[in-house]
Amino acid sequence: MKPIGVGVIGTGFMGKAHSIAYSASASVFGTGLRPKLEIVCDLSPERASQRATDLGFSRYSDKWQDVVNDRAVELISICTPNDTHAEIAIAAIKAGKHVWCEKPMSTSLKDSMAMSIAAEQSPCKTIIGYNYTKNPAVTHARRLIEGGVIGRVAGFFCRYDVDNEADEQRPWSWRMSRDMSGTGANGDVLSHVISVAHYLTGSCISRVVGDIAIVHPERNDPNQPTMRRIVDNDDMVAALVRFENGVHGHIGASRVTWGKKCGLTWEIQGTKGTICYDQERLNEIRLFTKSENLATDGFKTILTGPYHPPYESFLPNGGHSLGYMDVKICELHELLSSIQTDGNVWPDFSAGLKIEKVMDAVAVSYTHLTLPTTPYV
């Protein structure tokens, strides 16, 4: 098994998730590339040092340039705030590194386009961290759709609601800044919805009518609790959508919905049946197909197991349930396989740009759509 040197930039939750995936992927999948944890980076030298010890990296730095320029590093994870993604990713690609970048791609369509162009001009592999499309339940749903089990797809309906920012007493963070995060719920949450939409339908959203809302326009400053800071990106977002292949639907997201922890739910409607999914029950899908016996018509629940690849790489029997970290390992496995075989991987920066364009169109649509002040005659 050939080693591949990796570097991780950013040591928050996603940096930890990437590091765990690197450590486990070869053991789970037995692929030809075994990640070697070379260097981890954080703005705080103390935190970087501690993460290197905790996660098993050979060395650490407080400068991302050290990771990009490290000759032992072939693959770089970008797990930093959104406004840093473009600069780091483009520099990494120019240095000949493969890139695993967390979503969204950047804070602007211009920067995302620059990332996509850099990737197109390089043999390096890129992937955006839309891991919800790697879940065996979701990949099985796509196989059912491609196999015609529910007929021709007619409608796609999806929401992703969380309560991360529901409490108005929660302090302001960089995720609430247009400059640092880009859009709010649109980029952080709806982006996942769009990735799932494109993956399951096999088509891209081409038309939108969008709406956004800021529910909590101010938050307490985390460093000066008596001061208030402005929230200038969206808490809620929704859109009517049309796909290139004619599929109709609506999508939405919220970061301020009490009671929703990971409320990604979707329904895909076909001419012969329907498939439903709930991320909080990520090991199952519900399938309805028309029966000859109307007395037994109804949805059936399909519980994922070894007949739904790549579940069998983790567990020999169904019912034991995979989790979030397992799905990140699946995501990494696809990237490593593409590096090893020089094959394609989805979503690369080109596919990621198509997702970014939808997010941008939703925001632009909102700013341009207002009802007339005079009544209709």
pLDDT value for 376: 44
Return the number of other C-beta atoms located less than 10 Å from residue 14's C-beta. 18
CATH no. for 2-131? 3.40.50.720
Fold observed for domain 132-322: Dihydrodipicolinate Reductase; domain 2 (3.30.360)
Domain ranges of the chain: 2-131, 132-322
Residues linked to residue 287 through DSSP beta bridges, in sequence order = 275, 300
Do 10 and 42 meet the contact criterion of CB atoms below 8 Å apart?
Answer: yes
Question: Do you know the residue count of the chain?
Answer: 377
Q: What is the pLDDT tens value at each position of the chain, 377 positions in all?
A: 899 999 999 999 999 999 999 999 999 998 789 999 999 999 999 999 999 999 999 999 999 999 999 999 999 999 999 999 999 999 999 999 999 999 999 999 999 999 999 999 999 999 999 999 999 999 999 999 999 999 999 999 999 999 999 999 999 999 999 898 889 999 999 999 999 999 999 999 999 999 999 999 999 999 998 899 999 999 999 999 999 999 999 999 999 999 999 999 999 999 999 999 999 999 999 999 988 788 888 999 999 999 999 999 999 999 899 999 999 999 999 999 999 999 999 999 999 999 999 999 999 998 776 545 555 44
pLDDT value for 293: 81
Closest CA to 232 of 184, 186, 185, 168: 184
Please report, for residues 199, 251, 337, the alpha-carbon distance to residue 254 in angstroms, rounded to integers and kept in the order given: 21, 11, 34
Full-model pTM: 0.94
b (16+ CB within 10 A) / e for 231-258? bebbbbbbbebebeeebebebbbbbbbe
Residues linked to residue 41 through DSSP beta bridges, in sequence order = 9, 61
Do 51 and 12 meet the contact criterion of CB atoms below 8 Å apart?
Answer: no
